[in-house]
Amino acid sequence: MNDKPAILELRNVNKSFGPIDVLHDISLRVRAGEVLCLLGDNGAGKSTLIKTLAGVHKPTSGQILMDGHPVTFTGPSDAQGRGIATVHQFGGTFPLMSIGRSFFVGVEPTKGWGPFKIYDRKRANEIAVKAVRDFGITRIDDGDRLVGGLSGGERQSLAIARAVYFGARVLILDEPTAALGVKQASHVLRIVNEAKKRGLAVIFITHQVMHAMAVGDHFAVLIRGAIAADFRRGEKSREEITDLMAGGETMADLEAQVEGYLETHEGHPPSLQVLEGPTAH
């Protein structure tokens, strides 16, 4: 897998807002069919990094490369046009809009011509429902349902399915599991794996180490705007990752538990009830 060129790569990217340096010398790469986990505590610069990747911010210096070629995003829609999709914590969707409408927001399917183009509700609903069901969320069968009536995991799934439908090659998931319960989080992790299987490059931002370990191929730990560690799955022991993230004696115990759990549960993330403790976040 190492010989494949990265879909998205950052080279020595710096970002500062006026006198405040937020990102220092960030170099990252993510390939097709690979999940890159960005770990970092609150305030580590994760959101600025995401916004830089998504075209909201321009790097102060350094390069962004797609498929090996340097690119400059003129704005979020430019980045989206090149296949970079961001899914935010709450799915980035509109709770009081129907599934079909929110799925196609901004790019509504129309029928008719000229100034008499009308929103094609039936087609929007059909496509949206099919896209979500293809990801294994079979509970969704009516595109007229309001998004706000879905569970947190279903909303995330809808947002990911939407991104994939619109041709995303790089999926940036901003804390997708942070606000979710145990079952819902494992839903989302399953969908992340599904997206990976379909050949997407996934950047998975989280501060929940367990969730990262369940799906990640490659890890980067962000501390105060700089990459404190960058390694592939297996290159560092779990103790080292967690020490980097939180550093603490209790983590070792927790790790032992998780290790046992993962081995007996075919790599599924452990339930938080097992793990709930001072280090859950």
For residue 222, what are its two tokens? 């962000």
Minimal distance, residue 31 CB to other proteins, in Å: 25
Quote the least distance from Cβ 97 to other proteins, whole Å. Answer: 5
Identify the DSSP state of 65.
E
Q: Which is nearer to other proteins, 183 or 281 (CB)?
A: 183
Minimum gap (Å) between residue 192 Cβ and other proteins: 15
17 vs 94, beta carbon nearer other proteins: 94
Scanning the structure block, which residue is given the tokens 């090996």? 68
First CA to last CA across the chain, in angstroms? 32
Nearer to other proteins, 2 or 138 (CB): 138
> Of all residues in the chain, what percent are helix, strand and coil, respectively (each to 5)?
35, 25, 40
The CA radius of gyration of the chain, in Å to the nearest whole number, is 19
The nearer residue to other proteins, 99 or 209, going by C-beta atoms, is: 99
Report, in Å, the least distance between residue 73 CB and other proteins. Answer: 13
Residue 69 and residue 63 in contact, taking contact as beta carbons nearer than 8 Å: no
Measured from the CB atom, the residue of 119 and 261 that comes closer to other proteins is 119
Closest alpha carbon to 225 in 80, 34, 75, 14: 14
C-alpha to C-alpha distance for 20 and 30, rounded to whole angstroms = 27
**Site for other proteins, rule CB under 8 A:** 54, 56, 76-77, 80, 86, 88, 92-97, 101-102, 104-108, 110, 117-119, 122, 125-126, 129-130, 133, 136-139, 141-146, 148-149, 187
| Nearer of residues 68 and 106 to other proteins, judged by Cβ | 106
**CB 46 → other proteins: shortest distance, Å?**
17
The CA distance from 88 to 174, in Å, is 5
The two tokens of residue 255 are 């790790």
Q: Tokens representing 225?
A: 């705007």
Closest CA to 128 of 144, 151, 106: 144
**Least separation in angstroms between CB 81 and other proteins:** 9
